[in-house]
A and B are shown apart, each in its own frame.
Chain A
Amino acid sequence: MQFGRNPCPISMGMGNSSTCIFSPYLGGNPALVALESKANVQTHCQNKGFLPQLGTYNIGMIYPFAWMNMGFGGSFHGFDAYHEFSLKWNVAKFFKPYVAFAIETEYTCLYASPKHEYTHSGVVSLGMLVFPIAKMRVGFSIYNLSFSPFTIQENQFRLPVIFKLGLSYHIAKKVLLTAEAQKSLDQPFAFCVGLDYQIIRAIAIRAGLFACQELTPSMGIGLLYKNFRFDMSMQYHFSMGCILAAGLMYQW
């Protein structure tokens, strides 16, 4: 199941760190939406092992209102015989200068096989970001705090419950270092570290490492041109091979 495990290209380039990075894409820590001062429309996709069946496609929009920010998004994963579909709504508020909170509600839908009908569920997630000092962020997020399950033929399957806690620090003006711990309820602990280096305003390069039973290195690049933003990243999994992600965004 891909729900809750859908990193954006920036996150993937930084070893799947997602709680306290600089990312305007939906899908990471919900509280990151609170930091956006510009509206954007966005799309990003991911593919595992060059298999068309293992692709995830996302579209979204973030709009900053005067009193809070909102994000809307949708994602699709899978193929005709198995697919996952979700729609999410994010409400986020930045209590300047220290804390940002967000709550995200998501409608999820699963088509497990041709002999099963669609099954639906609702998920509530929380996110928080703290800024102890200008150079540092502490972030946490919980996906599926509602412990929502899917019911397939009277059997219940819980959607993943994922807790993430991270720390990021600007070790130099243009260099951001992140470290994060992640725990999915029924999976082992995972740790990730990531680095983002803003070479010039228009170009950033990223690298990271994701550790959960085995190490998974990753790298990525981000380009900014006028109101457009393009990000791409690659992760190499020693069993599954290459995982690619790309995202495009228009900000105004």
Chain B
Amino acid sequence: MKEDKVFNQLKEKMILIADLPPQEIGPFTCFWKSSAFYFKTMTLPLLISTGLFSSLTLWFIFGPRLVNLVSILQYGF
């Protein structure tokens, strides 16, 4: 009998989806699912922009005192 490739691929995909429990976090589920979509599809740009934004925020809060933290971290390797 000829093997149905599409059926097998679909079956594999279904098993993959059913294998993980759905992510339910009450009223935040919708927000979580929409943000998870961006994290899955554009991870690197999101990580870089979040890192840069957080760094600038820290500089606005702590100002020049941020250099003390960097000096300590630079000895940390």
- B partners with A: no
